[in-house]
Amino acid sequence: MRSGTGAKAELFFEDLVPGRWFDLGAITVDGTEMVAFAERYDPQWYHVDAALAAESEYGGLIASGFYTVSLFMRAYVDHVLARAAADASPGLEELRWLAAVRAGDRLVVRLEVLDQRPSTAKPHLGTVTLQGVMLRDEREVLRLRFRGWFRRRGAAPAVAGA
């Protein structure tokens, strides 16, 4: 059984029980990367124009929310999906940007398992509801709730056409 990155899986549906927490480490926001992301994917002035942003209520450049989510995703892949028998995700349920993120910010990333239930349609899978947070100085800057499909330990996938 392979993990989300192709390595041997060690975390399965049964291991992702409600109340379990994962420390996904800390990330320091790289200003050059933050602006390059915004220039390519979210070129709004408060993400890319330092002079305009400095004169605004923001007092300087702020990260694109989608850049911040991508930082969360990288931490999730590195610390959970790289070890988990993960399948696809059926989607996000909540995404909140709660405070501006800036170059140099140190963001602590955490993940909590909220719920799990076996799939009735695909008995080799289970659905896990997860909540991720990113914090700067103990203040949430990002919160998201999403679901993931994870393989059940020892369950063989259904064979198509059988």
pLDDT at res. 162: 45
What phi and psi, each to the nearest 5 degrees, are found at residue 47?
Answer: -100, -25
Residue 144: CB partners within 8 Å, gap ≥ 6? 69, 72, 92, 94, 95, 96, 131, 132
User: How much is the pTM?
Assistant: 0.92
pLDDT at res. 58: 96
Taking the CA atoms of 143, 149, 151 and 155 in sequence, report the sign of the dihedral they define: positive
Per-residue pLDDT of the chain in tens (162 residues, 90 and over written 9): 888 888 899 999 999 999 999 999 999 999 999 999 999 999 999 999 999 999 999 999 999 999 999 999 999 999 999 999 999 999 999 999 999 999 999 999 999 999 999 999 999 999 999 999 999 999 999 999 999 999 999 876 555 544
